[in-house]
Every structure is written in C-alpha cells, then in structure tokens.
Amino acid sequence: MDKLRIGMIGVRGRGGIARHWQASKRAVVVAGADVNEDHLQAFREEINPDAFITTDYREMLERDDVDAVAITSPDFVHEEHAVAALEAGKHVFCEKPLAITTEGCDRILRTWKASGKRLMVGFNMRYMPVFRVMKEIVDSGAIGEIKAVWVRHFVGAGGDFYYHDWHGTRENVTGLLLQKGSHDIDMIHWITGQYTKGVVAFGSLDYFGGDKPNDLTCDTCPEVDTCTEAQPHSRRRQCAFRQEIDVEDHSMVLMDMEGGIKASYLQCHYAPDYYRNYVFIGTEGRMESLDNGTVEVKTRRSNTWREHADRVYRVKGAAGGHGGADPLICAEFVEMVLDGKEPLATPEAGRMSVAVGCAATESLRNGGQPVDIPPIAW
C-alpha cells in the first residue's frame, strides 16, 4: 500500500485534521460521514471534491477503497464508531476520549485485539513541544525520581467549549474530568511513566447551569447584551445556564499512582484565563511549566554536577494546529499503518485516562469516596 485511504466519521470540529492527511504524500482522504449534510458539502469543498460522502457511516465502512477511519465524532458515539470500524476491518484513529465509560474502552480494546488492525488514540498533547520538553527533562534524570505531581487547568473558555453545546450533560460526556481532563491525566501518566491505581475527588457545578429553558440560544435571548457568557455569533449557541446542564464545572482529584507517586489535578471552567500549569517534583529537583512558554527546573543537592545550576528551557513554537501537534499525530498514524511504527499514544493509555476520569467522577459524586482503577478487562 503506497497511500493510506482515510475516511472521516465526523467532518467538522476536530474533523478538521483531515486537511493534514489530505496534504500528505502518503495519505488521501477519500470519504466522509456526518449527520449534517451541509457539513458534508463543506467537507467536499475544503478537503476533496471527489470524496464519497454519506449521512450513514455504515455505508462508508462497507467501501473497499477505505483502508482506515478517523473518528472525530462526539464523545458519546466513539465506542459505537470504533467498534464498527474495527469489525469492518479498518485501521482506526480515535479522537480522545476513547469512550465515555471504562467498560466502553475495554470493549474497544477487545475488538481491536480480535481485529488484527491498528488503533491509535488522538492524544495530541504528547506531540506538543512543551510536553515533549518536559518528558525529555524527566527522562534525563534532571529532577531525580518523581514523587509528586501538581496540575492545574484554568479553562477560561470553558463556557464556550463545554457549556454552550452537548458537552454540558452527563449523558453525553459522563463528566469533564473525562472529556477535558483525559489530556491532563494522560500527560501525568506519560511524563511520570506510571499509571494511577486509585483516586479520591471532589467537585461541584458552581457557575454554569440554572433555570433557563433548554431550547434557549444566545441569538434569541433577551439578555444577550448583558449576559457574561453570551456568544451569539458562535456555532455553539445553546444557553450555558439552561436547566439540563448537570456536569461539574470545578473538580479536584488526588491520584495514588504506581511507583509511590502522588498527583493532584484541579480543573475550573469559569477561570478568567486559559492556562495549564504542570509541576513535577523529584528527589533531585522540581520542574514547572509556565505561562510564558518556558519550563523551569530548580535543582537541590544531589551530589552531582546538576546541583550547581537551575535551568530555564525556552520552548520553541511549531507550525500547525495545537502548537504543531496535529500534523505530527496525523503523520504518525500513517506511519503506524504503512510502516508498522509503534504510536506514541497507545490504546492502553487511552483507556487508562478514561478509567481515571470515570473513577474520579464516581468519587466526587459520592462525597469523595475512594475508587480503585480496575484492570483492563481483556
């Protein structure tokens, strides 16, 4: 196979990564499936005018000219789409989260093993320069053996991203520790090289949600000129204070990890800024990512030459979406299928981030009850 022929399930939003495959010399996007016909027409115009399009993804899976499928549909149908694609004999790229339940992830993994095909999870943060720099620092031994991790995620655009559309209900996402937090949980796992064994968590719905009608939109609301969350010109226009919203907008998780590591993860969706802050503390120093694009390393006495200096890493930018990560992850999917390259983001890692998010959500909805992470049900 000289060129990987890719079909998209979900052609808008995250489906925009199709442009990276279409621009590749080793891939071509030959099909798209979406429930919105206008989106499908735009997909043809923007990606490939000759692409097969359909509102029924099953029709696309039946085609012999589709080798692989990229699943960029809403979270709550990832499991259905991934299982169907693997059973149809397609290689699969699945956007995170892999599914919205731990059981759903395990079902995908079992189907993947039985299919003999390749499966990759869309953890694009593993391809971002800042996190690769932090991973390199840790692997170099610069801060010794990691024992503590603190991660804070200020989701200043939370209302825009998660409460003006389908993300605001448990039915669709389980919780935002799973949907939004899966990236950060995966980074904690990847950079430390260890998985989480158990969690306790607390959280609440403090700001969003309320008593507004579920069918209210910003462009029809009489309070649009004074509402602090109004965005009438966005494609996400559902009222962020509607009655059906039941997903926590403020959560805190404590993670008991392998190797004796203890980690904390905090997420707030009504912060005034959008910023991730990562701190890793080891036996020989501390590493922290800062909002100015730098990573600082402070060393303590270690009886090595490293103790003589603290260091500042100025992270270089990269072209492409998500800090240059999107073209890299798309290229690696092609290399995984055509060349047999092992992906940086494994299916097991995708499952473990979901399992932690689900367990933490269970804990916070039960008053902080400790919850163990179950092993993969192969």
Whether 169 and 263 share a structural domain:
yes
Whether 357 and 260 share a structural domain:
yes
CA dist 365 and 360 (Å) reads 9
Q: For residues 301, 302, 303 and 307, what is the CA-based torsion angle, rounded to 10 degrees? A: -60
Q: Which of 122, 154, 177 is the last residue of a domain?
A: 122
**Tokens linked to 244:** 């059906």
pLDDT number for residue 135: 98
What is residue 12's three-state secondary structure?
A: coil
Q: Where are the beta strands (DSSP E) in the chain?
A: 4-9, 27-33, 52-54, 68-71, 91-95, 119-122, 146-155, 196-204, 250-257, 262-268, 274-282, 285-289, 294-299, 311-314, 371-372
Whether 67 and 190 share a structural domain:
no
CA dist 253 and 203 (Å) reads 9
Q: What angle do CA 76, 209, 100 make, to 5 degrees?
A: 15
Q: Which of 74, 101, 122 is the last residue of a domain?
A: 122
Whose CA is closest to 98, among 40, 174, 203? 174
Q: Could you list the residue range(s) of the whole structural domain that residue 162 is in?
A: 126-208+245-325+352-372
Whether 17 and 86 share a structural domain:
yes
If 0-12 CB within 10 Å is exposed, 13-18 middle and 19+ buried, where does residue 13 land? middle
CATH code, 97: 3.40.50.720
Whether 278 and 131 share a structural domain:
yes
CA dist 51 and 66 (Å) reads 11
CA dist 276 and 151 (Å) reads 7
Whether 262 and 319 share a structural domain:
yes
State how many domains the chain has. Answer: 2
Q: φ and ψ at 52, to 5 degrees? A: -75, 135
pLDDT band at 26 (very low <50, low <70, confident <90, very high): very high
* 144 pLDDT higher than 90: yes
Judge whether 338 lies within some domain: no
pLDDT band at 195 (very low <50, low <70, confident <90, very high): very high
**Tokens linked to 50:** 């000759």
Whether 113 and 135 share a structural domain:
no
Kindly report the average pLDDT of the chain as a whole number: 95
Q: For residues 320, 193, 251 and 240, what is the CA-based torsion angle, rounded to 10 degrees? A: 20
Whether 264 and 367 share a structural domain:
yes
**Tokens linked to 228:** 């602090």
Whether 140 and 31 share a structural domain:
no
pLDDT number for residue 323: 81
Residue 60 near residue 9 (C-beta atoms within 8 A): yes
Judge whether 218 lies within some domain: no
Q: Which of 71, 105, 122 is the last residue of a domain?
A: 122
Q: Which residues contact 242 (CB under 8 A, 6 or more apart)?
A: 168, 209, 210, 212, 213, 214, 216
pLDDT number for residue 2: 86
CATH code, 201: 3.30.360.10
Mean pLDDT of 187-212: 97
pLDDT number for residue 25: 95
What b/e readout covers 257-277, taking b as 16+ CB neighbours within 10 angstroms? beeebebebbbbbbbeeeebe
**What is the percentage of the chain residues whose pLDDT exceeds 90?**
90
pLDDT number for residue 158: 56
Judge whether 224 lies within some domain: no
Whether 160 and 307 share a structural domain:
yes
pLDDT number for residue 234: 87
pLDDT band at 282 (very low <50, low <70, confident <90, very high): very high
Whether 130 and 117 share a structural domain:
no
Whether 79 and 39 share a structural domain:
yes
